[in-house]
Structure 1
Amino acid sequence: MPAPLPHEYLPPVPALVVESDDITEGERLSDLHVFNDWGMTGQNLSPHLRWSGTPAETRSYAVTCYDPDAPTGSGFWHWVLYDLPASVTELPTGAGTGPDFKGLPQGAAHARNDYGTKEFGGAAPPPGAPHRYVFTVHALGVDTLGVGSDASPAVVGFNITANTLARGHIVTHFGI
């Protein structure tokens, strides 16, 4: 039985519509979104994302990518982006990819992912069964989360959950 998805543990909230020109629900990630290290040769670009259906009281957003199937006992955080202004409802391909972060609005912050970097880190599962990658957009009721960029993904996730008004996701997969 596969591990539960992260949103299955969270308090229920209204759903956002999350769409992408790069990734599709239930489909395999392309090499655009695969890590370029750890034996992988992808382009390591964050996917294009757009969202709609947010509550009127939304004051900011967070975007995360999580692999619940990583053999760590705690999954693997590939992307933890927060403090996106409420006026932003779309991120272009590569917006979460350093060092330039083209397409990220001023004030947006990355927490450290489980690769140890403050940016998007693509798929890099060990050989075996495919892993799921859950790209989630969270509509938040605060302007900022009030956490530093050195906070762990768990601390940022705690603050995201505590302030979530609505969320939506796209679940993809990748395996070697």
Structure 2
Amino acid sequence: MNDPNWKLPIVPSFKLESPDFTAGGTLPQWARSGVANAGGEDRSPTLHWHGFPSGTKSFVLTVLDPDAPTGSGWWHWAVLNIPASIESLPQNAGATDGALMPSGAITLPNELRLESFQGAAPPAGHGDHRYIFTLSALNTERLDIPEGSTPAMLGFMMRDYVVARAQLTGLSRTDPEPASA
């Protein structure tokens, strides 16, 4: 299984958890995509974190499906400039209106070019896909990157500021339609 962080600098880890799914468990149906016709609601799960370094000045959150059949994975969510005083995001913080996001946080466009959380939408019959929620603790209060930047650009721009990283992986699959008789 490929690890999307294998070329990133090794940094200390901290804890990222959700009451909505267990690590390595299945994401809730409502966290599947509605916009991509996967029968869900595109609601981001509740996230809580702790144990990050005391010098943390901000956080970056990304969600990647490295198993998407694209050669480069599929970015479902990317948020930067989450203040260090924030230690959780409520369910549906990734909504398009951004009403539940902390002040100052910026959501970048996902692969569908929407500035919101896109729920899981693995292709039918493709097996389990991993949805890797990565929270990076940074030693800078703010990243200034061009408006409309991609999550990949965000990863490049933040690489020298990451002091710790937490991950939480959820699974989702779409079973093929049964063959008609």
TM-score bracket, normalised by the shorter chain, equals over 0.9
Name the structure 2 match of 1:75.
Answer: 73
Pairwise CA distance, 1:132:
0.5
Q: Which runs of structure 2 are paired with 1:1-176 in the superposition (5 Å)?
A: 2=1, 4-99=2-97, 101-127=98-124, 128-176=126-174
The alignment partner of 2:127 has SS state of coil
Give the conservation status (yes or no) of the 8 Å contact 2:62–2:151: no
* Separation in 1, partners of 2:66, 2:96: 24
User: Which runs of 5 or more structure 1 residues have no equivalent in the other structure?
Assistant: none
| Identity across the alignment (%) | 37
| Letter of the 2:104 counterpart | G
TM-score, length-scaled by structure 2: 0.91
Deviation of the 1:39 alpha carbon: 2.7
Deviation at 1:146, TM superposition (A): 0.7
Number of matched pairs: 173
Greater radius of gyration (CA): 2
Letter in 2 for 1:118: E
Cα displacement (A) at 1:149: 3.2
- By how many angstroms is 1:46 displaced? 0.8
Moved over 6 A (4+): none
CA contact (8 A) 1:109 1:149 kept: no
Q: Would you say the 8 A contact 2:35–2:118 is kept in 1?
A: no
Q: Deviations over 1:59-116 (max 9, x none)?
A: 10011100000111110100000100110010000011112x2321111001111111
Q: 2:19 and 2:158 mapped to 1: Cα distance?
A: 25
Per-residue deviation, 1:131: 0.7
TM-score by length of 1: 0.94
